[in-house]
Structure formats: C-alpha cells, structure tokens
C-alpha cells in the first residue's frame, strides 16, 4: 500500500457580473460559468469547450442563459445531448431544480427523448414514433436526449418511405439553436465522427447554431478538425488561466473563502492498493478486506461510502455478501442495469456498490470511496466523485463529514511506475495538488489507443449517406439544398482527409458482395460504419430473476458476457414476450420492447458465476486466408465452442446463419490487445478453425469493434502499410 494526500481545490469567483444576469439569493458564479455565458452570447464563437474539473458546475454554465427566461427574442432553446439515458434522466432532475430556483418567466418545458421513451409515448398516445418526436419538439424548450436520436433523425430512421428526409430534423434545427454535449470524453472515434458529420450537415442547412462541449478531459482532435473547416472555437480552461487554487494551510483556506472562492473538493487521503491484473482481483481483495470497510464506518459515525468497480458480475456477487456482513448498515446496488426504484433506494443507503457513478458524489454525498479503473480517464473521473460536500441531511439533521478517504484498486504496473524510487513521480505520504497528480496518472497509466485513423478510414461512410439519395440528394429536397450538398461534401473531405468518391465506390462494392452472399440488399458493413454506437448481432434478451422490481427484469446482454459470467436458462422468444406482456398487465406499467426485436436468443438469468467459464468462437472455413486479407468482411458460419454448456447448440443454430461484420487477425487475443494498446473492455475474442486448440491462434472483432481494429491492425503486419477499406 502507498498513501498520499491531495490538496483541496478552490474555484475562482466571477468578477464584474453583468447586470442582466439574475441569480437566486445568495448565489454567485464561478469564473468559468460566466465565461461560458459570455461565449454563448458572443456571435464570433461557434463552438465552446468547457474543461473545468468534475464537480465545478459546468452544467449551470450551459443552462444559465436559458434560465434567465424570455427577456428578448434571443431566448435559447437547448438540445442537450448525454452519452447515456441514465445521465440524461439524472440531469433532467438537476435542471428542474435550477428552474425552481431561478424561476424564469417562461417556465421552460423539459422533455427527454430516448428510443424507450418514444416507444412508450407513441404506444400510450396511439401514434407513430414520427408523430411522437414532432410533438416533443413542438412542446419543449429544453430537450434532453442522446446523440443517437439526433443521428437517427439525420438518417431518416423514423420516416415513411415517401417522407422528405428533413421532415424531422429541419423543425429541430429551426427551433433549437444551441446544442450541448455533456461528458464528451466518454465518446470514442465512431461517435465523434458521427457528431462531426451532424455538425457539418447542420452548418450547411441551418447556419445559426452554437455548440457547447462539457468535459473535464480536453479532446484536442475534434477541436483541430473543426478549425480546419472554419469553426470558431473557444476553450475555457480554469487551470490554464490560474482560476484554481490549492491551499496548504488553514489561513489560506480562510483567505480564499473570504474572497468568495468556492471549494470544489476537499482534502483527500488516497491509498493505492496494488493488484495483479487478473479478472477478479479487485473482487477478491474486497472479500478478504471487508473489515477495512466495517472499521471505517465504525470509526466515522455518519459515514457515507461508495464502491465503484468495472464488472457488473463482481457487483452482483459482492452486494449480498456486503449486505450481510455490514448489517445493519444499508448496502445498495448501483449499476447501469439498476432499475429506477432501486436507484431511489440507493440514496438512503450507507454504502452503494456498482459500476455507475450516476448520483455518486451528487445526490448521494460520500466521504469514503473504494474504486477500480480501466484507464487514466476513468481513474480521474471516479476519484472526482469524492469530497464534493462537507455534510448531508438525514432525517432533518445535518451530519458533517470528518474526513475524505479513498482506496484505489490499481494494477501493479501503475503503482510501480508512480512510486518508482528512481523516477520518484510520487512519494509516499507526500501532499500534491490535483493537476500535478492527474498528470502523473495520465503519464503512467497504460496508454490506450485513440483510434485516430478511424476518421480518415471510415468517417466518409456517413458523409456519403447524408449527401446521397436518402439525404440531401433526395428528390424532394435536392433543389432546395443543391449548394448545401456540395459544400457539405467538401467540408467532410477536408475534416476527415479523404475522398468521398472512393468511399462511395467501396460502399457500392460492399452492397454487391452482400447481395451475392445473402441475396439481400444493403450491407452490414455500411450499417456498422454509419451507426452511432454500432449494433450487435450477438445481443440477447434476458429476463433477470435477480432483479427485485419486476418491470426492471427485462434487459439485453451481449452473448460473450453471458457465456463468461452468467448462469442462465434458455427460453423461447414467445415465452419471453408472454412474460413481458403479463408483467405489463400485472403492474400497469409500460415496458419498451423494441430493443428485443433483433435478439439472437432469449434467456432467464438465474445468477452470476463465481468463476468465468472458458469458451471461444469457431469457424469452419479457412481463417488463415481471411486473416491474411487484412480487411473487414462479413462472415457467416461462426459458432461458439463451450463443451460444458448444455444450451449452446440452440444458440449456434441461429448464430451460424448470421452474417457478422468481422475482422480477423492471425494472432492470439492477449498479444493483439497488448500490442495495439486496446482498451480493457474492447470487444475482441479468440477464434479457431478447430474446437480442440486450447490457445486459439486467431482473434476476431465484430461490428463497430471490427472497424476500429481495422484502423490499427496494419501495425501487426510484417511488411506494414495500410490497405484501402475495400
């Protein structure tokens, strides 16, 4: 174990407040919040990046202009885009709270848009999704959604065959002049590619638009690309402008507070726990050291804590164990799969354990944190949930936090690099400010590939679609947007550094190959390359018997996760639908079912295995020839080999007839992940021609992961050099 202390952080107040900004009584703004407000109202700025640290109120800066009400005709309707529906739901409550405090004269209406919300709304009102979207647009001043919806509108996903392609996105663009992208660092290259395509399309069909990106982690790639095509960008960085202070003494604290500097986070005692890079190393440490958790709660009365892990399976196994061991303390689960009712219960818990940071450090105030991380970004983000509050309310009483303590469950290599006696990046028991510490984490954590080659290699696929016959080239709008189409294509070629004619040629070739293989039009490669998050042909529908709330039992899981971690019982699609409809009838609560439309199979989830089971994909063809082609292809005939699995044959019957977008490389999986610096959870799997080989010599990725692997795999070739995508 190695321990250090992190200094508190204070944020500079705004000076010279404009007279036309109305704030609630006893409120003040931080420097970066006022700078965001000014940038939003500056006609010479198109795109704003606020990279203030986690917990410093970036969201208030984004909504501040709208919270002033309809003072003039420039009132800004906001389209706020979040990486997850869970975060959008959390932020809806936060913005409603701001509206109650600011009391704007127009009482702006907030609506959330997601596939599930739209499905339920359309079903309840007995209208089509297209009409549901149009109604939401018309009756909202603030829409909180995810970029997926924005992307689907551009592709005409909700339209009838004879509709104009701009039937939904034109009203949206005409009304909403201000787009906010929150937690932008979560998006990877395919999502950023789609966002850039959308921004360029909006630019050439409706120029009057502002964009604000909120992230504690700066993203230089998108800034550089947008500037190449003339977007005027501004970065708001409090640290670079010396608007953060890190006091050492009580006198310095008091001086800053006298000057109205706001404390963002308090002092933290941080202990590093070095662990082997094994699947369940963190889970085993928590089982063996659960007394540390109990002792902390016994020592600090009124303590509130969180455990944040990478694996949902680990959380599911640890939750009942800790609930029993820590009783009568309340322990509650908090993952991306946790239902709404259990989420609400977690706010009353003493300790939450999960994979999600939603609510943690915000509504659920904590002074004790144990966390693991997958990379430098998740390390910094998760640690940032701690020490945001000095107290909390319980049963009408104010309970103060005496200290803030964190345990970081980290790989051995990171601890060795940080506390190496020769380099002395960090010294045990020393005290550091946050920016220096964050820099050490970024420099010494395992470097993760940013897939920069994706933009040039695959970014043009969506550009061709948006400018083609289903987009700006559609016969109903072709004349209206004739000039826009060519300007859009030119900007896409510049920003992605590619030739759209070559991309269009490849897309045509994929279509011909797919029709020859399957007899169907279209092609799966095009779908993967133009999708926002990618769609998985390996997705299965689960009825989760471990979930207490009936309505939250209907979930989707990828087949590889099921094979590794879950104890399941196969059921038919008809039985799954029957259970769903019966649950709807019994609870009188609508349950969205569109996400189950294309599932590979359906199962009941009985529990989570203690140990991961071994399995691999197999293919009866010549994998060497496929791997030596070094390109994305559509494969059929893939199956799973897991000899002790009694239900796998039923899955294989469906799986082997699927056409899967694939990339095969002639190297074992572990070596590929290491050499290409792939993220911890990158979806790459072992595959072999024969089932008996214990260490498959080939690796395979599917869907969007196949496209990402394609941008890097040339590094594995002995002669090097990239080939064109087709």
Give the pLDDT score at 356: 81
Do 246-444 and 10-236 have the same topology in CATH? Answer: yes
Using DSSP, state whether 438 is helix, strand or coil.
Answer: helix
Position 702 scores a pLDDT of 96
Query: What DSSP character marks residue 361?
Result: T
Report CA-CA distances (Å) from 368 to 90, 318, 446.
22, 18, 26
Nearest residue to 130 (alpha-carbon basis) of 144, 146, 113: 113
Q: Would the pLDDT of 355 be above 70?
A: yes
Closest-CA residue to 485 (of 290, 203, 79, 212) = 203
Give CA–CA dist 599/540, Å, rounded. 5
Interval 294-322: pLDDT, tens:
999 999 999 999 999 999 889 999 999 99
pLDDT at 544 over 80: yes
What's the CA gap between 488 and 463, in Å, rounded? 8
Which residue(s) pair with 506 in the sheet? none
Alpha carbon distance 506, 724 (integer Å): 9
- 517: cis peptide before it, omega within 30°? no
* Residue 521 clears pLDDT 90, i.e. is over it: no
| pLDDT of res. 307 | 96
Which one is the CATH code of 10-236: 3.40.50.300, 3.40.47.10, 3.40.50.150, 3.40.640.10? 3.40.50.300
- Contact predicate 547/535, CB 8 Å: no
Cβ atoms within 10 Å of 511's Cβ, excluding its own? 16
Residue with tokens 């508190």: 8
Q: What integer pLDDT is reported at residue 32 of this predicted model?
A: 97
Which residues, other chains included, contact 669 with Cβ-Cβ below 8 Å and sequence gap of 6+?
A: 684, 685, 686, 696, 699
| Domain regions of the chain by residue span | 10-236, 246-444, 539-608, 616-716
Label residue 218 by pLDDT band (50, 70, 90).
low
- Rounded alpha-carbon distances, angstroms, from residue 150 to 153, 169, 194, 243, 499: 5, 8, 10, 35, 25
3-state secondary structure 108-127: CCEEECCHHHHHHHHHHHCC
Instruction: Please determine, for residue 184, whether its predicted confidence score (pLDDT) is greater than 90.
Output: no
Contact (Cβ atoms closer than 8 angstroms) between residue 447 and residue 455 = no
Binning pLDDT at 50, 70 and 90, where does residue 470 land?
confident
DSSP notation for 76-113 = PPEEEE-SSHHHHHHHHHHHHHHHHHH--TT---EEE-
Q: Give 360-384 pLDDT, tens digit per residue.
A: 878 889 999 999 998 898 899 999 9
Distances 31 to 94, 139, 238 between C-alpha atoms, Å: 21, 34, 8
Give me the phi and psi of 51, to 5 degrees please.
-115, 35
Average pLDDT over residues 535-563: 91
Predicted confidence (pLDDT) per residue in 633-670, tens digit: 999 999 999 988 888 998 999 999 999 999 999 999 99
Listed in sequence order, the residues at least 6 apart from 344 whose beta carbon sits closer than 8 Å to its beta carbon are: none
Closest CA relative to residue 266, chosen from 168, 435, 401: 401
The C-alpha atoms of residue 670 and residue 673 are separated, in whole angstroms, by 5
Res 336: pLDDT: 58
How much is the mean pLDDT over the chain?
89
Could you say which DSSP state residue 71 is in? S
Model pTM?
Answer: 0.91
CA angle centred on 510, ends 196 and 463, rounded to 5°: 15
Structure tokens at 68: 């002033």
Give CA–CA dist 228/222, Å, rounded: 10
Residue 720 scores a pLDDT above 90: no
How far is 524 from 582, CA to CA, in rounded Å? 35
pLDDT (tens digit per residue) in 273-292: 999 987 789 999 999 999 99
Q: How far is Cα 394 from Cα 177, in angstroms, rounded to an integer?
A: 42
Q: Which residues contact 295 (CB under 8 A, 6 or more apart)?
A: none
pLDDT over 80 (residue 75): no
The predicted-structure confidence for 100-118, as pLDDT tens digits, reads as follows 999 988 888 999 888 888 8
Beta-strand pair 78-81/391-394: unpaired
Quote the CA–CA distance of 130 and 79 in Å, as a whole number.
18
Q: Do the strands 244-245 and 110-112 form a parallel or antiparallel pair, or are they unpaired?
A: unpaired
pLDDT of residue 155: 81
The torsion defined by the Cα of 534, 539, 542 and 546, in degrees rounded to 10, comes to -70
What is the arrangement of strands in the sheet containing 9-11, beginning at the earlier edge strand?
A: 244-245, 9-11, 262-265
Q: Does the structure show a pLDDT above 80 at 711?
A: yes
Closest CA to 175 of 138, 225, 210, 132: 138
Kindly tell me if the per-residue pLDDT of 45 is higher than 60: yes
- How much of the chain, in percent, has pLDDT values that exceed 90? 60
Confidence band, pLDDT 50/70/90 cuts, at residue 422: confident
Burial degree of 198 (CB within 10 A; 0-12, 13-18, 19+): buried
306: nearest Cα among 383, 389, 373, 381: 383
Q: Which residues pair with 393 in a beta bridge?
A: 398
Return d(Cα 468, Cα 485) in angstroms, integer. 9
For 422, residues 6+ apart whose C-beta sits below 8 A from its C-beta are none
pLDDT of 74: 55
Q: How many residues are recorded in the chain?
A: 726
Residue 678 confidence (pLDDT): 92
Quote the CA–CA distance of 468 and 541 in Å, as a whole number. 35
471-508 confidence digits (pLDDT tens): 899 999 989 888 899 999 999 999 999 999 999 999 99
CATH classification of 246-444 is 3.40.50.300, yes or no?
yes
For the record, the structure tokens of 688 come out as: 């072999």
What DSSP string runs through 611-652? SPPP-EEEESS-HHHHHHT-S-EEE--EEEE-TT-TTHHHHH
- Quick check: 455 and 195 in contact, CB under 8 A? no
pLDDT at 350: 94
Rounded average pLDDT over 517-546? 88
User: What is the C-alpha separation between 332 and 288, in angstroms, rounded?
Assistant: 20
Higher pLDDT, 680 or 33: 33
| Beta bridge mates, 394 | 397
């Amino acid at each position: 174990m190695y321990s250090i202390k992190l200094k508190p952080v204070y944020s500079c107040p705004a000076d010279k407040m404009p007279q036309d900004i109305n704030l609630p009584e006893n409120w003040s703004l931080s420097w970066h919040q006022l700078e965001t407000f000014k940038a939003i109202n500056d006609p010479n700025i198109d795109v704003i990046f606020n990279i203030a640290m986690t917990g410093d109120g970036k969201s208030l800066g984004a909504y501040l202009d709208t919270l002033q009400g309809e003072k003039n005709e420039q009132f800004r309707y906001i389209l706020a885009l979040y990486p997850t529906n869970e975060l959008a739901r959390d932020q809806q409550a936060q913005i409603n709270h701001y509206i109650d405090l600011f009391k704007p004269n127009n009482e702006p209406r907030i609506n959330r848009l997601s596939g599930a919300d739209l499905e339920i709304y359309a079903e309840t009102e007995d209208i089509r999704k297209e009409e549901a979207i149009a109604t939401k647009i018309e009756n909202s001043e603030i829409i909180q959604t995810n970029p997926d919806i924005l992307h689907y509108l551009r592709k005409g996903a909700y339209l009838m065959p004879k509709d104009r392609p701009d039937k939904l996105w034109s009203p949206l663009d005409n009304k909403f002049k201000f787009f906010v992208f929150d937690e932008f660092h979560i998006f990877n290259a395919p999502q950023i590619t789609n966002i850039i395509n959308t921004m360029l399309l909006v630019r050439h069909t409706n120029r009057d638009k502002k964009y604000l990106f909120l992230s504690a982690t700066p993203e230089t790639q998108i800034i550089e690309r947008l500037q190449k095509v003339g977007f005027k960008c501004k970065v708001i960085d409090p640290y670079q402008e010396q608007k953060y202070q890190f006091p050492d003494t009580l006198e310095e604290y008091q001086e800053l507070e006298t000057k109205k500097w706001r404390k963002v986070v308090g002092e933290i005692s941080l202990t590093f726990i070095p662990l082997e890079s094994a699947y369940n190393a963190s889970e085993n440490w928590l089982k063996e050291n659960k007394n540390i958790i109990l002792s902390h709660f016994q020592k600090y009365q009124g303590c509130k804590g969180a455990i944040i892990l990478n694996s949902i399976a680990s959380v599911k196994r640890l939750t009942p164990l800790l609930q029993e061991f820590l009783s009568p303390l309340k322990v509650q689960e908090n993952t991306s799969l946790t239902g709404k009712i259990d989420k609400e219960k977690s706010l009353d818990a003493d300790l939450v354990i999960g994979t999600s940071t939603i609510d943690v450090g915000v509504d659920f105030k904590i002074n004790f944190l144990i966390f693991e991380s997958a990379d430098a970004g998740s390390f910094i983000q998760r640690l940032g949930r701690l020490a945001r509050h000095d107290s909390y309310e319980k049963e009408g009483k104010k309970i103060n936090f005496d200290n803030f303590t964190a345990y970081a469950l980290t790989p051995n290599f990171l601890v060795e690099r940080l506390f190496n006696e020769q380099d002395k990046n960090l010294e045990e028991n020393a005290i550091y400010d946050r920016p220096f510490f964050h820099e050490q984490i970024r420099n010494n954590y395992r470097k993760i590939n940013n897939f920069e080659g994706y933009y040039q290699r695959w970014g043009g696929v969506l550009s061709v679609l948006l400018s083609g016959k289903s987009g700006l080239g559609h016969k109903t709008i072709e004349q209206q947007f004739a000039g826009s189409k060519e300007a859009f294509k030119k900007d896409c070629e510049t920003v992605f550094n590619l030739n759209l004619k070559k991309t269009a040629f490849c897309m045509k070739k994929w279509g011909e190959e797919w029709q020859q293989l399957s007899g169907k039009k279209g092609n799966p490669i095009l779908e993967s390359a133009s999708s926002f998050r990618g769609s998985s042909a390996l997705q299965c529908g689960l009825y989760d018997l471990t979930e207490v709330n009936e309505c939250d039992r209907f979930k989707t899981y990828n087949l590889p996760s099921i094979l590794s971690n879950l104890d399941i019982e196969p059921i038919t699609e008809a039985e799954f639908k029957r259970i769903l409809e019966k649950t709807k009838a019994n609870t009188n609560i609508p349950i969205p079912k569109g996400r189950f439309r294309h599932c590979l199979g359906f199962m009941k989830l009985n529990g989570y295995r203690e140990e991961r089971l071994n399995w691999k994909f197999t293919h009866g063809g010549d994998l060497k020839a496929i791997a030596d082609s070094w390109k994305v292809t559509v494969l059929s005939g893939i199956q799973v080999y897991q000899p002790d699995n009694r239900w796998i044959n039923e899955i294989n019957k469906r799986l082997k007839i699927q056409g899967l977008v694939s990339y095969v490389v002639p190297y074992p999986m572990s070596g590929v992940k290491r050499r290409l610096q792939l993220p911890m959870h990158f979806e790459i799997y072992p595959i072999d021609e024969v089932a008996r080989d214990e260490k498959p010599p080939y690796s395979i990725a599917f869907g969007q992961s196949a496209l990402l692997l394609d941008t890097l795999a040339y590094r594995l070739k002995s002669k090097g050099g990239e080939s064109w995508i087709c």
